[in-house]
Amino acid sequence: MGGIDILLLIAYGISFVCALLLIAALFLYFRKRFRARVVSLFMLAAFFFLGAYTVKMAVAFWIRFSTATGGDAVYAALKSQAWTVAQTGTTLGLVILTVLMYTRRQDLFLSFPAVKREEEKEDADA
């Protein structure tokens, strides 16, 4: 392994850990927001993007480590397909975030009235 490979592994590792920490923080945010029955569409898109980005970093680790240890044609095809899916998800997340930013729709919220009605029925039954 050369110096660039080591630098890339360090960069991928830092990116992967930061993305996991952000996903954990967003998970707590969404848990709180789903209980309130209102979720920001922008934050939901950011969560989707971070999820795809985290998968992409995991695939990048897999590609780098398997390149260092060798591999066969089946693994090479699988790695290529996994990278394609991860890159497509990341790109889709970025497109959604960009559209929301440039249309100035960062403040769109989704509300869940059906969830509210079910809880009201449970409260009425109790």
Q: In the prediction, which pLDDT does 68 show?
A: 53
d(CA 33, CA 87): 28
d(CA 92, CA 59): 17
Average pLDDT of the chain to the nearest whole number: 77
- Cα dist from 43 to 11, 47, 112, 113, 120, whole Å: 25, 6, 16, 19, 27
Question: What are the φ/ψ torsions at residue 38 (nearest 5 degrees)?
Answer: -140, 125
**Residue range 13-58, pLDDT digits in tens:** 888 888 888 888 888 888 888 777 778 788 888 888 888 888 888 8
Q: Where are the domains of the chain?
A: 3-125
**Residue range 82-113, pLDDT digits in tens:** 888 888 888 888 888 888 888 877 676 766 67
Q: In the prediction, which pLDDT does 125 show?
A: 59
Amino acid letter, residue 100: L
